[in-house]
Amino acid sequence: MLKISRILSFSLFLALGIYGAVQIPALKFSFDFEQFFPEGDEDLAFFQDFIQSFETDDNFLMIAIKRDSGVFEQQFLEKVHEFSLQARDLPHVVAVQSLTKVTYPVRTPFGVIGRPLIHINQADKYASDRARILADNRFVNVLIDSDAKSLVVFLKLVNSIDLDQATELMEVLEPKLETYGFEEWHMLGRPYFQKELVAMQKREIIFSAIVSGVLVTLVMFLIFRRFWGIGVAIASIGMGILLFLGFMGYTEREFSAMAALYPVLMIIVGTSDVIHIMSKYIDELRKGHDRVKAIKVTIREIGLATLLTSLTTAVGFASLFTSRIAPIRDFGVNAAVGVLAAYVAVIGFTTAVLTLFPKEKLIKLGAAHRFWEDLMARTYRFTLNQSRQISWGALGFVLLCFLGISLISTDYDIGGNLPRGKKITEDFYFFEEEMAGFRPMEMAVTAKNGYLATDFAVVKEIDKVERYLQSIPSIQVLGSISTVYRSIHELFGNDSSDFPATEDQFEQYGRMAARVPQADVNVLVSRDTTKARISTRLKDIGADSIKWLGQEIDNWIIANTDTSMVSFRRTGTGTIIDKNSVYVRQDLINGLGLAVAIVSILMALLFRNLNMIIISLVPNLVPLLMAGAMLGYLGIELEAGIAIVFAVIFGIAVDDTIHFLSKFKLVRSRGAGVEEALSVTFQETGKAICLTTIILFFGFLIMLFSIHPPSVIVGTLISVTLFSAVVSDLLLIPVLIRYLMKD
Q: How confident is the model at residue 82 (pLDDT cuts 50, 70, 90)?
A: very high
Lowest mean pLDDT among 265-274, 401-410, 517-526, 668-677: 517-526
pLDDT confidence of residue 153: 92
Write down the number of H helices and E strands in the chain: 27, 12
Q: Give the mean pLDDT of 491-499.
A: 65
pLDDT confidence of residue 615: 84
Choose between 592 and 381: higher pLDDT.
Answer: 381
Q: How confident is the model at residue 518 (pLDDT cuts 50, 70, 90)?
A: very low
- What are the strands, taking DSSP E only, across 399-539? 439-447, 475-479, 531-538
- Nearest residue to 200 (alpha-carbon basis) of 427, 25, 418: 418
pLDDT confidence of residue 113: 60
Whether the full predicted model's pTM is greater than 0.75, yes or no, is yes
pLDDT confidence of residue 369: 58
Q: Is the pLDDT of residue 500 over 70?
A: no
Lowest mean pLDDT among 39-43, 112-116, 607-611: 112-116
- Nearest residue to 102 (alpha-carbon basis) of 82, 119, 123, 90: 119
Q: How confident is the model at residue 313 (pLDDT cuts 50, 70, 90)?
A: confident
Cβ atoms of residues 20 and 243 within 8 Å:
yes
Q: Give the mean pLDDT of 281-292.
A: 78
Q: Which domains does the chain have, with CATH numbers?
A: 34-39+51-195 (no CATH), 225-365 (no CATH), 369-406+579-743 (1.20.1640.10), 439-539+541-577 (3.30.70)
Q: Give the mean pLDDT of 617-633.
A: 86
Q: Is the pLDDT of residue 300 over 50?
A: yes
Highest mean pLDDT among 190-204, 257-271, 584-598, 645-659: 190-204
pLDDT confidence of residue 702: 78
Cβ atoms of residues 300 and 287 within 8 Å:
no
d(CA 375, CA 371): 6
pLDDT confidence of residue 647: 77
Choose between 429 and 363: higher pLDDT.
Answer: 429
Identify the helix (H) or strand (E) that includes residue 327: helix 326-345
Q: Is the pLDDT of residue 1 over 60?
A: no
Q: Give the mean pLDDT of 161-186.
A: 89
Alpha helices in 516-639 (DSSP H): 543-560, 573-578, 580-607, 610-634
DSSP state of 419: P
pLDDT confidence of residue 91: 92
pLDDT confidence of residue 108: 54
- Measured in degrees and rounded to the nearest 5, phi and psi for residue 157 equal -110, 170
Q: Write the pLDDT tens digit of every residue in 525-548.
A: 888 888 888 888 888 887 778 888
Burial (0-12, 13-18, 19+ Cβ within 10 Å), 171: exposed
d(CA 117, CA 132): 8
Cβ atoms of residues 430 and 65 within 8 Å:
no
pLDDT confidence of residue 608: 77
Q: Is the pLDDT of residue 365 over 90?
A: no
Contacts of 393 (CB under 8 A, 6+ apart): none
Lowest mean pLDDT among 78-87, 106-115, 415-424, 475-484: 106-115
Q: How confident is the model at residue 517 (pLDDT cuts 50, 70, 90)?
A: very low
d(CA 706, CA 687): 30
Q: Write the pLDDT tens digit of every residue in 117-167.
A: 888 888 888 888 888 888 877 788 888 898 989 999 999 888 888 888 888
Tell me how far apart the terminal alpha carbons of the chain are, to the nearest angstrom.
Answer: 44
Supply the mean pLDDT for the chain. Answer: 81
Share of residues in the chain with pLDDT > 90 (%): 8
